[in-house]
Chains A and B, each alone.
Chain A
Amino acid sequence: MKKFIQKLGLDEYIITILFGLVLFVSKLTGLSFASKVGSNFWLFFTEMITFLPFMFLLIGIIDVWFPKDKVERHIGQESGIKGIFWVIILAMLQAGPLYGAFPVAYLLWKKGCSIRNIFIYLGAFSTLKIPMLTFEIGFLGLKFSLLRTIFTLPVFILIGYIMDKFLINKRFEVKQPGDIKVG
């Protein structure tokens, strides 16, 4: 049975299938659970399924058009406000969870990025990635997204400055976990 489900490529949908079965059985036996949870689910599902594909289309298009490599060339060379600007732009073009940013932070460090800009990169990466902003605007509205961006920007730039202040004379370095094992 398990192999059969995997063969159909349905193993990722196992919870959904079980949920459907439970709903079906409880509907037959007339439990209130079925109608309440079922209608909740259906409401959310129809809402998501109508625009999620469009959002991913937009994200896909953005992804192929934004020149990541052109931005990368600026990193490490520019300092001051310009340096902050490029590091934020680079971060905004990425995708994925925060722990995916740590290896990039290591590469930036190797390229001569300052401590301040490393942490600004982490802040921008976690909060201002374009695919995430697309989702945020779609689900929570433009006003919310704009306000959150405006308030978040100074917060993580400030965190970058504070981290810099704390770490500048403390022999700080960014390591690659592989290095630690070897050393």
Chain B
Amino acid sequence: MKILLSLTFIALILSFFADRKKTVSGIKKGFKMFLGILPMILNLLILVSIFLFLVPQETLIKLLGKGSGITGMLIAAILGSISLIPGFIAFPLASILLKSGVAYGVIAVFITTLMMVGILTLPLESKYFGMKTALMRNGFSFIGAIIIGLLIGWCM
């Protein structure tokens, strides 16, 4: 987190000296994005607070923790494939789950399937590429996500 904060300040200062106008428009853009995402973030935090109240931490760790192995990854992969959560929401969610005991590998699978596999957007995707191609891309991405998760679980 500290890296990012210092990076933000360095970028801001450099940008300000290079071009004031551009910097102001960048700040405005960032602030607008923040305000746009804020209600979604609040809703997510509410949902997660209730979810973590209803589901005991032991259950969460058992299903998705370090010892959950491939089962945990499959659960994460299926959840990630069927949900439509924007990245700006997904990463805060992932960090809360991580602190609640979910394993890094499981988080990696969830994030990767969330980003690369889209069951709900399959009808749209098939309009661009054809159904067979869309299924193939999603299928390979699903397998790839599991591999990435296994590697990350093994490294972290």
Known: A54-B5, A140-B91. A37 touches B112 (CB 8 A): no
A144→B23 contact, CB < 8 A: no
Instruction: Return chain B residues, CB-CB under 8 Å to A148.
Output: 108, 111-112, 148, 152
Please report the C-alpha to C-alpha distance between residue A15 and residue B43 in the assembled complex, in whole angstroms. 7
Q: How distant is A134 from chain B, measured CB to nearest CB, in Å?
A: 7
A37-B50, A54-B4, A135-B92 are known contacts; what are 12 more A-B pairs with Cβ within 8 Å?
A: A38-B49, A57-B27, A58-B11, A63-B26, A64-B23, A122-B137, A136-B111, A151-B151, A152-B144, A152-B148, A159-B140, A163-B136
B15→A99 contact, CB < 8 A: no
A62→B152 contact, CB < 8 A: no
Known: A65-B22, A177-B127. A41 touches B31 (CB 8 A): no
Q: How distant is B81 from chain A, measured CB to nearest CB, in Å?
A: 12
Does A127 interact with chain B (Cβ within 8 Å)? yes
Number of chain B residues close to chain A: CB under 8 A: 69
Known: A98-B116, A98-B121, A159-B140. A53 touches B48 (CB 8 A): no
Report how many A-B pairs have Cβ atoms within 8 Å: 205
Please report the C-alpha to C-alpha distance between residue A97 and residue B148 in the assembled complex, in whole angstroms. 21
Please report the C-alpha to C-alpha distance between residue A122 and residue B111 in the assembled complex, in whole angstroms. 16
> Per a CB cutoff under 8 Å, which of A132, A135, A155 touches B144?
A155
Does B124 interact with chain A (Cβ within 8 Å)? yes
Does B106 interact with chain A (Cβ within 8 Å)? no
A48→B94 contact, CB < 8 A: no
A residues contacting B by CB (< 8 A) are 12-13, 15-16, 19, 33, 36-38, 40-41, 44-45, 48, 51-65, 97-99, 102-103, 105-106, 119, 122-123, 126-127, 129, 131-132, 134-140, 142-144, 147-148, 151-152, 155-156, 158-159, 162-163, 166-167, 172, 174-177, 180
Instruction: Return chain A residues, CB-CB under 8 Å to B92.
Output: 44, 48, 52, 135, 139
Secondary structure dominating the interface of A: helix
Please report the C-alpha to C-alpha distance between residue A159 and residue B29 in the assembled complex, in whole angstroms. 34
